[in-house]
Chain A
Amino acid sequence: MSEPSRNVEPSSTPDAELQQFNATWASPRGFPGWLSEVNNRPLGIRFMLTALAFFLIGGILALLMRIQLAVSENTFLGPDLYNQLFTMHGSTMMYLFSVPFLEGLALYILPLLIGSRDVAFPRLTALGYWTYLFGGILFYISFFVGEVPDAGWFAYTPLSSSKYSGLGLDFWALGLSLVEVSGIVAAVEIVVTILKLRAPGMTLARMPIFVWTILAAGLMSLFAFTTLLVATLLLELDRTGGTKFFDADFGGNNLLWQHLFWFFGHPEVYIIFLPATGIISMVVGTFARRLLGYTYITVAILVTAFVSFGLWMHHMYTTGLPELSLGFFAAASLMIALASGVQIFAWIATLWGRRPALRPPLMFVLGFIFIFVLGGMTGVMVAVVPFDWQVHDTYFIVAHFHYVLIGGAVFPIFAGMYYWIPKFTGRMMLPKLGHLNFWLSFVGFNMTFFPMHIMGFFGMPRRVYTYLPILELDGYNLFATIGAFVFAAGTLLFLLDILLSFWWGAPARNDPWGGDTLEWTTSSPPPSYGFLVPPVVRSRHPRWEAETLDCPPSASIEAANQRATQALDGRPTEWRGTLVTHAVNATPQAIHYLPGPSYQPLFVAIGLVVALVSVLLKVHLVILVGVAIMAIALGRWLSPKPDLVKRLRESDMADRAGLPILTTGSRSVAWCGMVTFLSILAMSLVALVYAYFYIRLYSPQWPPAGVSEPSRLMFTLSYGLLVVSAPALMWANRSFNRGYENQIQFSMTCVLLLAAAFLATNVYAVIDYGVSINESAYGSLFGLLSVYPWLLVVVGALLLINAQTRAWSEFRDTQGHMAMQMQVTSLYWYATVAAAVVIFGTLILSP
């Protein structure tokens, strides 16, 4: 085990215990250790480095495209290769760089900002990283097998259907699915960590703005990425399974893809933009030594997160939708500018009258404000329907979204890197290189993208590999190409700066910028546990002021906070632990066990890759191998070792802190994780039900000609059996709470039997109905919506069997781990029953 660097905090814990504490938190050594790492800091760095590698590749693809477009009728790239390059460039920047980089930054810095020792589910962090890495590799393997995706980063159907696109689109869909899984698990991680693992005293009113923005982005990711996952599943089923969701010849609907895709795609822009604004607020606050409008900024962040889900149709103005719906989506698109404006004005007001030092982080902030305001203004322009009709699919749109995404994400990322890299590496970056990087990036960016507004007005179409000399756009394009290389030089300088700082950078103090937040109280770089003694927060700016005087904590809260943090001073020593606090008031609630190094996340990701590659290669039996690997790894992951539960029960930490270690309900991190997971399932169901009704709306006959109605009696009986299992499980829970051993076993057996009866009758009913998934969109929808509850029930039954087996020996554990397992399993099962009822209503009862 490698020794983590020591923290700077004074500790009253004896040296021998501190050594044991350090050993418990040390990263495992060697390559096998590298594979089993679960700590947020090394994994956060890996996320960021991998994302930077993809950023470089995506940037090279962009430069190749700019060379092609430098002069009219150029033959540097052919049309096919150009299509492949713009598809890979867009997909790389949107899926493999922007979101994963910000996730990596969040995973690294979040526990430090909120005073926690790690994130809530460390193994989930590792799973997120492996799925992201494997997804990205799968994406790029397409280059080596000569089957590169070429239908754009949005993969509109029917262009992306198997009729018009080759194997490359399968690489796109399957690689992307893995990256989406990564995005979803990172979102679960971030949301639960922020809500449950904040330092005592860090109430909602004292959370750093960056934490607010990643909370908003995490919540958005849960819904947005789930929708995309459903959409790519439907696309891949169409491509390889012969379903007809998007095949208009068989009752499918191509616009359904656009609806689902943009329901993800528009919030995606804000999932990237909001954390970037969080970085801006942190840098502005530190450099101006204040941040005006904290409440306004947080409200603007939350309003933006909400409203961004109501804008998806503004990408579809030209698809022939009813004008009325275009009207109110245009209104929403205009209104979101107000929320962004609030933030911009707050930053300007904060900087007004101050004389902050123009260091690289602040320079990139100022560059961001200039570029993003321009991008925002063109965003307001394209929100107006008639204007959008004129410039849609021209270079004006290319200019607009690069101003928003590079101004709104890349410049803040640069600002954040210059700001936090001293904390990550312990070395200051070289200021002269930072200044030069800023000017090259700022000038190069504007040279590249500003002329594109004009090119768009002159009618230069996007996504086309060349243009005619008669358009007289050669000069603009050559200028843009030169600008792209200037911008690229700036980026290379940034990477060079990071490398050189290891040799020539001055050692970084703990707080090189005089920042106000908790990460600056740790050493640079911080130890793997972040805080030896969990901090108590008494103000919004814990480094600047001891406490906020208008609302000091009461004596009893203060005493509870002190007792909890003192108990965790250099402890627990035998296992990794951190404090759980109340989601709103941040009062101590429990001590959370954090698992150490594990190979299970890697094996789950490998199982997933094996299953998806089998789909790609059409060796369907191997899918079962992948599923088996996943199932075994997940089984080991979810089953706690008996000696661990015993050790936690016997630990003296509970007595020291006066807090439970194994707990239930909203105090339990596992419970919060399950609620978050269920919201993902709910969103996937909403997307599928929406798909059903949307396709049905545009179908002249439902079910289509030649297909009979499903048997109401048979399906009612089948779904009824599952519904009855819910009260049976309630009975089991009541028996468990009262410690009635035999009743627990009997009632849980009843639940399992009812589940088995549901599966048997439902499978029979679907087979008996005889509708084919390959003959109509109706059949495809009926089949998929029928299989959905089967999968939920199978997983739920495994969870129930696990709980029932443990209940044999642990039925008296009504407050500890067994109780938590019963509660979480029950939550899942009730959600499964609710989902089945919705599906029954959709397939069988809807008129």
Chain B
Amino acid sequence: MEGTNEYQAPLPRRSVPTDGRLWFGVLGGAIAWLLHLVLSYLIAEFGCVSGWGEHHWMGLSLVAWLGLAVSVSMVASAVVANGIATRNQKGFSKDVDSETSSDGERFMARSGVLANRFFIVIIIVQSIPFVFYLQGC
């Protein structure tokens, strides 16, 4: 084959995020929401049926403790993802060279910021029911 034409991206400069950071910035909030949903569902359905709602510690049921722990950790994860997405976006805005980043990547970084903010709000709203069921199910 006469000289390859496949476009090889040059090594990224420091301001441009790596692929892993870029994708975490895009999907981090969504994954945190997904984990929150799955774990909250498991705690509520499996925990309540298994009687975890009857076990209490410091005035709260085990179900409530678990639910609140999952909620706090998943909000924190989504906030971290949003921080990374914001840094990604800033990194791309400094990089004006289209050799090292495409508008596809810039778009991903910006979408990540918007999506993560949305998912933070959803996780917080979905956590509210745990506050109303601190004693049981």
Contacts and interface: CB of A to CB of B under 8 A. Distances in A.
Indicate whether A and B interact: yes
Interface centre among B50, B98, B106, by most chain A C-beta atoms within 10 angstroms, is B98
B121 A295 contact: no
B37 A332 contact: yes
Interface in B55-107: 63, 67, 97-99, 102-107
B37 A659 contact: no
B24 interface: no
B114 A295 contact: yes
Given A205-B103, A331-B128, A554-B97, A299 B118 contact: yes
B7 A655 contact: no
Contact of B106 (A205, A302, A335, A586): A205
Interface in B16-58: 30, 33-34, 37, 40-41, 44-46, 48-50
A388 to B, nearest CB: 15
Contacts of B6: 560, 587-590, 658-660, 667
Interface in A564-591: 564, 582, 584-590
Contact of A557 (B7, B63, B108, B125): B7
Nearest to B127: A328
Given A563-B5, A584-B104, A655-B1, A328 B30 contact: no
A306 B129 contact: no
Contact of B7 (A302, A328, A550, A560): A560
B73 to A, nearest CB: 16
A728 interface: no
B30 A306 contact: yes
A340 B2 CA distance: 50
A328 B1 CA distance: 58
Contacts of B4: 658-660
A334 interface: yes
B49 A697 contact: yes
Contacts of B130: 324, 327-328
A296 interface: yes
Contacts of B119: 303
A303 B115 CA distance: 7
Given A328-B44, A332-B37, A332-B126, A551 B111 contact: no
A338 interface: yes
Contacts of B30: 302-303, 306
A339 interface: yes
A703 to B, nearest CB: 18
A307 B98 contact: no
A339 B115 CA distance: 10
A590 B7 CA distance: 10
Contacts, number: 160
Nearest to A312: B41
- Interface size class of chain A, counting residues whose CB lies under 8 Å from the partner chain: 35 or more
A553 B108 CA distance: 17
A560 B5 contact: yes
A204 B107 contact: yes
A556 interface: yes
Given A204-B108, A554-B97, A322 B137 contact: yes
B7 to A, nearest CB: 4
Contacts of B107: 203-205, 295
Given A324-B44, A324-B130, A324-B133, A299 B115 contact: yes
A335 B123 CA distance: 10
Nearest to A296: B114
A15 interface: no
A321 B45 contact: yes
A325 B41 contact: yes
A556 B7 contact: yes
Given A299-B114, A332-B126, A658-B2, A324 B103 contact: no
A311 to B, nearest CB: 10
A204 B104 contact: yes
Contacts of A658: 1-6
Interface string A651-662: 000110111100
A693 B47 CA distance: 13
A298 interface: yes
A328 B97 contact: no
A332 B122 contact: yes
A584 B122 contact: no
A80 interface: no
A307 B36 CA distance: 12
A554 B103 contact: no
Given A334-B125, A560-B6, A306 B34 contact: yes
B44 A585 contact: no
B122 A307 contact: yes
A302 B7 CA distance: 29
Contacts of A654: 1
B110 A554 contact: no
Contacts of A659: 4-6
A76 interface: no
Interface centre among B6, B46, B67, by most chain A C-beta atoms within 10 angstroms, is B6
Contacts of B9: 585, 587
A327 B129 contact: yes
Nearest to B49: A697
B13 to A, nearest CB: 14
Interface in A609-663: 654-655, 657-660
A552 B102 CA distance: 9
A322 B44 contact: yes
Interface string A331-345: 110110011000000
A658 B111 CA distance: 33
Contacts of B50: 697
B48 A322 contact: yes
A203 B103 contact: yes
Contacts of B45: 321-322, 325, 697
Contacts of B5: 560, 563-564, 588, 657-659
A607 to B, nearest CB: 37
B98 A552 contact: yes
A322 B40 contact: no
Contact of B63 (A205, A310, A324): A324
Given A206-B103, A584-B105, A554 B118 contact: no
B40 A328 contact: yes
Nearest to B46: A697
A2 interface: no
A698 interface: yes
Contacts of A249: none
Contact of B125 (A299, A323, A331): A331
Given A324-B44, A324-B129, A332-B126, A553 B98 contact: yes
Nearest to B132: A327
A121 to B, nearest CB: 22
A548 interface: yes
A658 B4 CA distance: 4
Nearest to A205: B107
Contacts of A313: 41
Contacts of A550: 103
Contacts of A586: 104
Contacts of A657: 5
A323 B133 contact: yes
Interface of B: 1-7, 9, 30, 33-34, 37, 40-41, 44-46, 48-50, 63, 67, 97-99, 102-108, 110-111, 114-115, 118-119, 121-122, 125-130, 132-133, 137
Given A327-B128, A657-B5, 8 more contacts: A296-B114, A302-B115, A332-B126, A338-B118, A553-B102, A584-B102, A654-B1, A667-B6
14 contacts: A302-B115, A307-B122, A309-B37, A313-B41, A324-B67, A324-B133, A328-B37, A335-B122, A551-B103, A557-B99, A564-B5, A585-B102, A589-B6, A658-B6
Q: Rank and list the top 5 A-B pairs by shortest CB-CB distance, nearest first.
A: A658-B5, A327-B129, A203-B104, A205-B107, A587-B7
